[in-house]
Amino acid sequence: MTDKYTQLVSHGLGKDVAKKLGLPQPVVLRRHEPGAPLITGPVLVSGDSAGADDIATTLLGWGLDVRRNALPKEKLGAIILVLDAVQHPEDLGKSVLTAGASLRDLSTNGRVITMSRTSRSARTPASAAARQGIDGFLRSLAKELRAGATANGILLDDQLATTSPSALGALRFFLSGRSAYVDGQFLTVRSTSGSLPNDADKPLTGKVAVVTGAARGIGAAIARTLHRDGARIVAVDIPAAGDHLAAVANEVRGTALQLDISRDDAGHRIIEHAVERHGRLDIVVHNAGITRDRLLANMDEGRWQSVIAVNIAAQLRINEALLASEHFKESPRIVSVASTSGIAGNRGQTNYGASKGGVIGMVRSTAALMEPFGGTINAVAPGFIETEMTAKMPFAIREAARRLNSLKQGGQPQDVAEAIAFLSSDAAGGISGEVLRVCGQQLVGA
Amino acid sequence: MATADVTTDGPLEPTFGPQSTRAAVIVGGNRIPFARTGGAYVKSSNQDMLTAALEGLVARFGLQDERIGEVAAGAVLKHSRDFNLTREAVLGSALSPETPAYDLQQACATGLETVLGLSNKIKLGQIDSGIAGGVDSASDAPIAVSEGLREILLDLNRAKTTVQKLKIIGRIRPKDLAPDAPNTGEPRTGLSMGEHQALTTAQWKISRDAQDELAFNSHRNLAAAYERGFFDDLITPYRGLTRDSNLRADTTLEKLSTLKPVFGKNLGSEATMTAGNSTPLTDGASTVLLATEEWADARGLPKLATVLDGEAAAVDFVHGKDGLLMAPVFAVPRLLARHGLTFEDIDFFEIHEAFAGTVLSTLTAWEDEEFGRTRLGLDGALGKVDRAKLNVNGSSLAAGHPFAATGGRIVASLAKMLHEKGTVNGRPARGLISVCAAGGQGVVAILEAA
């Protein structure tokens, strides 16, 4: 679980010493467990628009302790800045400075969440400037927060209310422990599709989910998390990983499908298995991926082609089968695992970077094809995640990678899985074509 | 009292007979790769391996927390502590702990007999689902103390006073301390199975070349089956092994022909049986999921094949009337006759390759006019098995032969082959299984595509 250094500096003597020496001070992050409250402590809703009033009313309806003005010295669980009505960069000051005055009262593992409009839908240069300004503001603020607190933003297209289903879905995700390792990121809501779950602890009840690469690491965590949220699981991995796959499938009370996803008929086999055994197919998580690292100068064809074949070509082919299937038409969800290497690049990973960049391109393009039947497709881009794979990195490189983010620690496989579970849910119906980074706001790269 | 009231309008329903039974279907199977003794599973017990095979089956078919009608499995080489081996494996699996289980032992026919026994229970309506299986470890074989030491230890246990105990301990002699390892020798003849088969191989004049060719085909067919992914839904890897470790995909007839004979070296005639055309000692486990059609349908599970029928036979090898492993030669014609079938009606022949010589002696006996008339009571030879239909995905010479696990391996693979084949000339594809066993026994069965 949490790395040893984080445990050491989280309390007692270790905490005092780290503080005096100016060492990084990661805290144990608040992670979601069934039955956990959305957030503890009062929530300050800042902003004077009608949209802000609506959010305050909604939060009261959820049973949260809502403040429209901060009380002196009162600890806050979260600060929500509703900036949906700003027209000019000059409008930002009042709201953000009011919120800023409350930052010292933000609890450990607290949340700052902005709700604003997408700049591409702005009608005037000043409006676009104000909206884009919030992007730079939030990413900077996220780097100022301490003690496991995160800052994330929700972007709404112009016609959308702050209380549209996926805006509220995203708000709940960012407030909760499900977003523990998501920091400095935005989610864009594009439509009024989607609905909040009846049972917040079982948002995937009745769904059948296929998870590729499920035998270990992040894939196994995805299977466990989707199962925890109520989904029935089809766990897929290559036949050679079948023993680990069987253990995961039995743990989550699902079925194991030993299948090489790069086979031509993989999509057909996945659909057939899900429909025959479980009666339907709602969610496909493309998690399976491989690395074959080499500097490009030393790259051979086998290394290049195998990474492309498994990491992106297989996903494209399976998606074609899914899009053509009559069994994948009831608001289905596809979530792909990309990587920060596909965004910022990584030395020695030209093949992997190309494949993961490819995943992002695929997701953006496929969104339009999913829309006619209420489907969505999104990607999650993990940063440094504590897995068997990263445990094998040389100590110094691993330690650097682990600390070089705003939360000063690596993420857990569960953190990636939580983001995928959210994007797989009905609540995320208005979010499609997005790439959500789960990287603790990695400091290097994009 | 009710007899007087019976109405005789219309035909009476027979109380017994095939009409009153229902089909037993094979849903699928799972085994772990077979490992040569002393290899990947050297530290695995029978219970470990059977549990692993069971867990893979549970995962493949989503049987977690399911109360299966009954699980039957067994092992040939068995520790006394494993008196409830199958039940213990069930308790160690994700199946419902309320699933009953029993152990069965019929030498190398154990696995096939568990399939037939549970199929019969399904057909009779006693259970709706069953898991048949088998496991064997020659690596983790039980070793007993010598008979002399065993008697002394039992006496010691019964002794009451220290003086009595010391007297008994004083009886121990160095020779008593030598352990008694298991062997595959026949108790009544003292001959190993290989030496027995060497007698039969020589009797039926089976050539070295023919035996090597059968072994070569076994490796080639098994390797090809792996290559096209045939085993992707039949095998779950175990302890780092993803394929049968005995498989030599690159073996050649030339290589096989250079091996030195290991059995029948003192028979006078030329010795023909080598390590290449005999199965090695092997560790492994297999399972098969059986059910009624309704049970499978209710869970959206596949129906690969049905278990049509089975037959056991035994021969008098002790007095040399027939070879030790020749019992299937007699079981098959009896089973075919019961269903009015001939070799023409069979699309796949799965004849367990204990030794290449066993398979070839069996085929030769069936092709022999004299043998057919005098021993099988037929008008002539039973018939000729089309070699193109024989062990088409390899058999024990390539895969290895963990005694009790072989039946489950063959049943699950054949069921899948039959399902892929579907129908032949408008009738369901049909496969014949033949497994020879120690003690001069044999069990055979017919499966049909479902």
Select from B57, B58, B60 the residue whose CB has the most chain A CBs within 10 Å, as the one to mutate to test that interface.
B60
* Inter-chain residue contact A239 with B237, CB threshold 8 Å: yes
Q: Select from B59, B233, B301 the Cβ nearest to the Cβ of A246.
A: B59
CA distances in angstroms from B214 to A69, A153, B194, B386, listed in the order given: 87, 69, 17, 13
Q: Does B94 touch chain A (CB under 8 A)?
A: yes
The nearest alpha carbon in chain B to A241 belongs to: B237
Does B228 have pLDDT greater than 80?
yes
Does B3 have pLDDT greater than 60?
no
The nearest alpha carbon in chain B to A256 belongs to: B60
Please give the angle made by the CA atoms of B92, B96 and B99, to the nearest 5 degrees. 90
Does B6 have pLDDT greater than 50?
no
Q: Does B11 touch chain A (CB under 8 A)?
A: no
Lowest mean pLDDT among A320-324, A401-405, B238-242: A401-405
Q: Is B419 a catalytic residue?
A: no
Which tokens in the block code for residue A316?
């494209």
Q: Does B238 touch chain A (CB under 8 A)?
A: yes
Residue A393 DSSP class: S
pLDDT of residue B19: 53
Which helix H or strand E contains A144, and what residues bound it?
A: helix A125-144
- Residue in A351, A350, A353 with CA at minimum distance from that of residue A341: A353
Q: Select from A242, A245, A255 the Cβ nearest to the Cβ of B61.
A: A255
Q: Is A181 a catalytic residue?
A: no
Mean residue pLDDT of chain B comes to 91
Which amino acid, one-letter code, is at B48? D
The pLDDT-based confidence of B186 (bands split at 50, 70, 90) is confident
Alpha-carbon gap, residue B45 to B51, rounded angstroms: 10
- Residue in B283, B281, B284 with CA at minimum distance from that of residue B235: B284
The pLDDT-based confidence of A69 (bands split at 50, 70, 90) is confident
Instruction: Using DSSP, state whether A237 is helix, strand or coil.
Output: strand
* Inter-chain residue contact A243 with B52, CB threshold 8 Å: yes
Q: Select from A235, A243, A278 the Cβ nearest to the Cβ of B237.
A: A243
Q: Does B300 touch chain A (CB under 8 A)?
A: yes
Q: Smallest CA–CA separation between B350 and chain A, in Å? A: 25
* Inter-chain residue contact A277 with B301, CB threshold 8 Å: yes
* Inter-chain residue contact B235 with A242, CB threshold 8 Å: yes
* Inter-chain residue contact B238 with A254, CB threshold 8 Å: no
Q: Write out pLDDT tens, residues A82-93.
A: 999 999 999 898
Q: Smallest CA–CA separation between A398 and chain B, in Å? A: 27
Give the number of other CB atoms < 10 A from CB of residue A347.
10
Q: Write out pLDDT tens, residues B281-298.
A: 999 999 999 999 999 999
Alpha-carbon gap, residue A191 to A237, rounded angstroms: 34
- Which residues from B are below 8 Å from A247, CB to CB? 55, 59
Residue B108 DSSP class: B
Q: Does A272 touch chain B (CB under 8 A)?
A: no
- Which residues from B are below 8 Å from A281, CB to CB? none
Instruction: Using DSSP, state whether B135 is helix, strand or coil.
Output: strand
Q: Smallest CA–CA separation between B68 and chain A, in Å? A: 16
The nearest alpha carbon in chain A to B64 belongs to: A253
pLDDT of residue A394: 82
Task: Write phi, then psi, for B392 (nearest 5 degrees).
Answer: -70, -20
Give yes or no for a contact between A275 and A234, defined as CB atoms under 8 angstroms apart: no
- Does pTM surpass 0.90? no
Q: Does A245 touch chain B (CB under 8 A)?
A: yes
Which helix H or strand E contains A250, and what residues bound it?
A: helix A242-251
- Residue in A186, A191, A438, A425 with CA at minimum distance from that of residue A285: A425
Catalytic residue among A5, A174, A352, A384: A352
Q: What value does the mean pLDDT take over residues A156-183?
A: 95
Mean residue pLDDT of chain A comes to 91
Catalytic residue among B219, B352, B401, B419: B401
Alpha-carbon gap, residue B386 to B170, rounded angstroms: 65
Q: What value does the mean pLDDT take over residues B180-184?
A: 66
SS (H, E, C) chain A: CCCHHHHHCCCHHHHHHHHHHCCCCCCCCCCCCCCCCCCCCCEEEECCCHHHHHHHHHHHHCCCCEECCCCCCCCEEEEEEECCCCCCHHHHHHHHHHHHHHHHHEEEEEEEEEEEECHHHCCCHHHHHHHHHHHHHHHHHHHHCCCCCEEEEEEECCCCCCCCHHHHHHHHHHHCHHHCCCCCCEEEECCCCCCCCCCCCCCCCCCEEEEECCCCHHHHHHHHHHHHCCCEEEEEECHHHHHHHHHHHHHCCCEEEECCCCCCCHHHHHHHHHHHHHCCCCEEEECCCCCCCECHHHCCHHHHHHHHHHHHHHHHHHHHHHHHCCCCCCCCEEEEECCCHHHHCCCCEHHHHHHHHHHHHHHHHHHHHHHHHCCEEEEEEECCECCHHHHCCCHHHHHHHHHCECCCCCECHHHHHHHHHHHHCHHHCCCCCCEEEECCCECCCC
Complex ipTM, two decimals?
Answer: 0.84
The pLDDT-based confidence of A3 (bands split at 50, 70, 90) is confident
pLDDT of residue B184: 65
The pLDDT-based confidence of B20 (bands split at 50, 70, 90) is low
Q: Write out pLDDT tens, residues A207-262.
A: 999 999 999 999 999 999 999 999 999 999 999 999 999 999 999 999 999 999 99
Q: Does A239 touch chain B (CB under 8 A)?
A: yes
Give yes or no for a contact between A113 and A78, defined as CB atoms under 8 angstroms apart: yes
Q: What value does the mean pLDDT take over residues A35-48?
A: 91
Size of interface A-B (CB pairs under 8 A): 66
Q: Write out pLDDT tens, residues B253-285.
A: 999 999 999 898 887 767 899 999 999 999 999
Give yes or no for a contact between B349 and B431, defined as CB atoms under 8 angstroms apart: yes
Q: Select from A235, A246, A263 the Cβ nearest to the Cβ of B236.
A: A246
Instruction: Using DSSP, state whether B175 is helix, strand or coil.
Output: helix
* Inter-chain residue contact B301 with A254, CB threshold 8 Å: no
